[in-house]
């Protein structure tokens, strides 16, 4: 039986030369998969291209790469972003210079790509100005995320940071109010002030917002609930909170 070739998704680049070219040209790359035990000569050339760059690298068995594509990948493939990531400091500074209040949605380790896409859709609909995500340990912008967002990820800027803690400190120093939505909150959603420049933080569904970020925030808000289940899907929670933000600005 003839072996069928599994074609790579549209957001994947494969093969040593193609990945090196993507790196050298400055393409936005979410992560790179490298086959364990890759030929030394080929790996050296790739290693040189990666020198001084902070990409997420995963050294994996060839079977994992073959699950993505069985084209001639040579043991290397890169997941590229369909959008350009921005710098949060530069984005906010430009708006401060113009005197524009800014809403930043901060996602701390949201790893499900489709959840991320749905959140981006709500954020764009509700007037969020940018989404801030960490470069590691988070879902990135992929073709699936764009599709789930109904194209919102082509409209709303996405900023990345190597340290959410440092970026939140910068926002705080820029007179942003930091609001964490958490089960550990002590201020109900409807009593929380979302007016003016605000950074709204949501954490992973597994363990919420990391403690070092929680310790920084100005307000810990919560969504009052009547049922016995203690938590909401993060995408649903984002939609509810952002609606309250819009309600305060438009109708309160």
pLDDT tens by residue, 143-171: 899 999 999 999 999 999 999 999 999 99
> Of 136, 141, 98, 111, which Cα lies nearest the Cα of 202?
111
Sorting pLDDT into bands at 50, 70 and 90, what band is 1?
A: very low
- The CATH number of residue 159's host domain is 3.40.1280.10
Q: Is the pLDDT of residue 223 over 50?
A: yes
Task: Measure the CA–CA gap between 139 and 101, rounded to whole angstroms.
Answer: 27
Question: 142 with 75, same domain?
Answer: no
Tokens found for residue 237: 């929670």
Question: 39 with 96, same domain?
Answer: no
- Domain containing residue 37: 12-80
Instruction: Kindly report, residue by residue over 71-82, the tens digit of the pLDDT.
Output: 888 889 999 999
Question: 104 with 226, same domain?
Answer: yes
Q: Is the pLDDT of residue 6 over 70?
A: no
Q: Say if 4 falls within a structural domain.
A: no
Question: 66 with 147, same domain?
Answer: no
Boundary (domain end) residue, out of 62, 80, 98: 80
Q: How does 45-78 read in b/e, with b if 16+ C-beta sit within 10 Å?
A: ebeebbeeeeeeeeeeeeeebeebbeeebbbbbb
Question: 69 with 101, same domain?
Answer: no
Q: Say if 7 falls within a structural domain.
A: no
Q: Say if 34 falls within a structural domain.
A: yes
**Mean pLDDT, residues 87-114 taken together:** 96
Question: 177 with 52, same domain?
Answer: no
Number of domains observed in the structure of the chain: 2
| The pLDDT value given to residue 5 | 59
Share of the chain above pLDDT 70, in %: 96
Q: Would you give the distance in Å from CA 228 to the centre of its chain?
A: 30
Question: 118 with 162, same domain?
Answer: yes
Within 8 A by CB and 6+ apart from 105, the residues are 119, 123, 128, 130, 131, 132, 199, 200, 202, 238, 242
pTM, two decimal places: 0.87
Question: 144 with 244, same domain?
Answer: yes
Q: Which DSSP helix (H) or strand (E) runs through 58?
A: strand 57-60
| The pLDDT value given to residue 177 | 97
Question: 55 with 72, same domain?
Answer: yes
Question: 63 with 96, same domain?
Answer: no
Question: 67 with 109, same domain?
Answer: no
Count of H-run helices and E-run strands, the chain: 9, 12
Q: Say if 2 falls within a structural domain.
A: no
> Of 30, 203, 209, 234, which Cα lies nearest the Cα of 119?
234
| The pLDDT value given to residue 2 | 45
Q: Say if 1 falls within a structural domain.
A: no
Q: Say if 94 falls within a structural domain.
A: yes
Question: 30 with 111, same domain?
Answer: no
Name the residue with tokens 């964490």.
180
Q: Is the pLDDT of residue 101 over 60?
A: yes
> Phi then psi for 29, rounded to 5 degrees?
-115, 125
Report the DSSP pairing between strands 76-80 and 12-14: antiparallel
Q: Is the pLDDT of residue 139 over 70?
A: yes
Q: pLDDT averaged over the chain? A: 91
| The pLDDT value given to residue 115 | 94
Task: Measure the CA–CA gap between 133 and 88, rounded to whole angstroms.
Answer: 10
Boundary (domain end) residue, out of 50, 80, 110: 80
**Mean pLDDT, residues 216-223 taken together:** 97
Instruction: Kindly report, residue by residue over 20-65, the tens digit of the pLDDT.
Output: 988 988 888 999 999 998 877 777 888 888 888 888 889 999 999 9
| The pLDDT value given to residue 69 | 86
Boundary (domain end) residue, out of 45, 61, 80: 80
Q: Is the pLDDT of residue 7 over 70?
A: no
Task: Measure the CA–CA gap between 236 and 202, rounded to whole angstroms.
Answer: 11
């Amino acid at each position: 039986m003839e072996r069928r070739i599994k074609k790579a998704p549209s957001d994947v680049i494969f093969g040593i030369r193609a990945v090196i070219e993507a790196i050298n040209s400055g393409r936005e790359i979410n992560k790179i998969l490298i086959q364990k035990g890759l030929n030394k000569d080929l790996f050296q050339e790739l290693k040189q291209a990666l020198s001084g760059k902070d990409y997420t690298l995963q050294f994996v068995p060839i079977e994992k790469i073959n699950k993505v594509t069985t084209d001639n990948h040579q043991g290397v493939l890169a997941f590229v972003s369909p959008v350009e990531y921005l710098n949060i400091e530069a984005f906010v500074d430009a708006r401060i210079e113009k005197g524009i209040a800014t809403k930043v949605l901060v996602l701390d380790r949201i790893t499900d790509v489709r959840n991320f896409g749905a959140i981006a859709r709500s954020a764009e609909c509700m007037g969020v100005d940018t989404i801030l995500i960490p470069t590691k340990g988070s879902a990135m912008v992929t073709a699936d995320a764009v599709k789930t967002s109904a194209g919102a990820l082509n409209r709303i800027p996405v900023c990345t940071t190597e340290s959410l803690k440092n970026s939140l400190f910068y926002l705080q120093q820029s007179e942003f109010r930091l609001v964490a939505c958490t089960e550990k909150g002590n201020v109900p959603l409807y009593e929380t002030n979302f007016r003016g420049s605000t950074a709204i933080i949501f954490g992973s569904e597994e363990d919420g917002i990391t403690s070092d970020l929680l310790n920084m925030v100005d307000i810990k808000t919560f969504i009052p609930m009547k049922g016995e289940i203690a938590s909401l899907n993060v995408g649903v929670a984002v939609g509810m909170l952002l609606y309250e933000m819009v309600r305060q600005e438009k109708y309160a």
